[in-house]
Amino acid sequence: MIRIITFLALYSYLTPEPVYALQSHGEPEGLFAHQIAHILFSVSMIFLAYWLKSNNFTRERGWRLIQISCILFFIWNLVAFCGHYVEVKLPSKLIEGTGSGWDQALLLSGSPYSLYYYFLKMDHLICVPALACLFLGLRNLYKKTLMKVAADK
């Protein structure tokens, strides 16, 4: 074994070739990383929802609300994932006007993705309820915990 390693080391040293230590990262990598993060986020939320259910946490209202929040975040992640995908696919010329969107318009007939893009861009309609459910769930748990702590005292 030592002989083989020694041989390979000598061979590598005596026959040098160009190496590429640093890999270049093009523009799509950022989007891919973000999309993968969305996938991880969504999976983790489904996992949490399942874990809460399987460990009987959802008997309490607070945890039930958090479970709903998980499901909504899961859906939001799917929406965001699709939104990002559609945004890439949608030609920019289909959006008329400049600015932040208030005075912009979308040509729906310009691409099969136009309609999806229109609705998927309104992901806050899912994201905000998800966060609200988390908030309500935490508030409920806090109140119950306060009562429990008071009862223990």
Q: Which stretch binds another protein (CB under 8 A): 6-14, 17-25, 43-51, 85-93?
A: 43-51
Report the C-alpha gap between 56 and 87 in whole angstroms. 40
Per CB under 8 A, contacts with another protein among 98-127 are: 98-109, 115, 118, 121-122, 124-125, 127
51 counts as binding another protein under rule CB under 8 A:
yes
8 A C-beta contact, residue 133 and residue 69: yes
**Options 47, 88, 89, 91; binder of another protein; rule CB under 8 A:** 47
Q: Tell me the closest approach of the beta carbon of residue 2 to another protein, in angstroms.
A: 41
User: How many CB atoms neighbour CB 29 within 10 A?
Assistant: 11
**Options 48, 72, 79, 86; binder of another protein; rule CB under 8 A:** 48
Residue among 62, 75, 68, 52 nearest 126 (CA)? 75
Report the C-alpha gap between 95 and 97 in whole angstroms. 7
Q: Which is nearer to another protein, 9 or 108 (CB)?
A: 108
Q: Tell me the closest approach of the beta carbon of residue 122 to another protein, in angstroms.
A: 4
8 A C-beta contact, residue 129 and residue 76: no
